[in-house]
Amino acid sequence: MLDQPGHHLCLDDDGLSLRQGGSPKTRVVVDFCAGAVAHRRKFGGGKGQDIAKAVGVSSGYIPTVVDATAGLGRDAFVLASLGCEVKAFERQPVVAALLEDGLLRATDDPEAGPVCERIQLSFGSSHDLLVPPAEGWLADIVYLDPMFDHDPRQTAAVKKDMQAFRDIVGQDLDADELLARAMSCARCRVVVKRARKAAPLAGKAPSYSLTGKSNRFDVYALAKVSAPEE
């Protein structure tokens, strides 16, 4: 099958993977127990990471998060490793299947398992799932990381596995309207991950930004990140 062109979902002893015909080494798989994701959990900087600062993780309060564009779950896993309870939404069926498989395979891992237990995956579009409840909010933080074209000005080429992922997912051309939905569902703030030099989502200037070497976190502040008043 893998000598045929196109992308293929394959299930073997190592789990579910997305593979590209004619390129046997190209393999997209969600693995929270080893590799780069596990390394980041152990050595990524903890609460000192920009993503932790953007969502407001502190020693005094760990916010709840809706990751409305979950993808392969890497940011959701980072947030869960910091103690956040994460609701992860993913609408692309192949990507959602890969993420669900990765979460299930991590269940028995003594280190990754407890982290993944804090991630609740829902298959569906955030355009449908980001709806404020009758009372209250969906989470303290709503996190958005829409998929857009790779910036051709960047000198580093996209790795083959991530290019396969981009081929399947495509661009989130309808992402602008998610910002307003997110603002109606977050108690404390909305955080949008952007390329370092990209325009703000929906053209709306954030309250402030945290800018790294390649990415930027735009923060739309609504309230202090602290325990809700009873």
Among residues 36, 38, 90, the alpha carbon closest in space to that of 66 is found at 90
- pLDDT for res 10: 85
Q: Could you give the dihedral angle defined by the CA atoms of residues 41, 124, 53 and 61, in that order, rounded to the nearest 10 degrees?
A: -90
Contact between 32 and 51 under an 8 Å Cβ cutoff? The reply is no
- pLDDT for res 135: 87
Distances (CA, A) of 205 to 114, 213, 219: 37, 20, 9
* Radius of gyration of the chain from its Cα atoms, rounded to whole angstroms: 18
- pLDDT for res 169: 61
Helices (H), 67-175: 74-81, 93-105, 112-116, 126-129, 160-169
- pLDDT for res 188: 98
Distances (CA, A) of 14 to 101, 106, 206: 10, 12, 42
Q: Which residues contact 128 (CB under 8 A, 6 or more apart)?
A: none
What backbone phi and psi angles, to 5 degrees, belong to 202? Answer: 60, 15
Threshold 0.75, pTM exceeds: yes
What backbone phi and psi angles, to 5 degrees, belong to 45? Answer: 110, 0
What tens digit of pLDDT does each residue of 104-130 get? 999 999 999 999 999 999 999 999 999
Q: Residues in the chain with pLDDT < 50?
A: 150, 152-158
- pLDDT for res 158: 46
Q: Is the dihedral of CA 35, 197, 45, 109 positive or negative?
A: negative
- pLDDT for res 42: 66
- pLDDT for res 13: 84
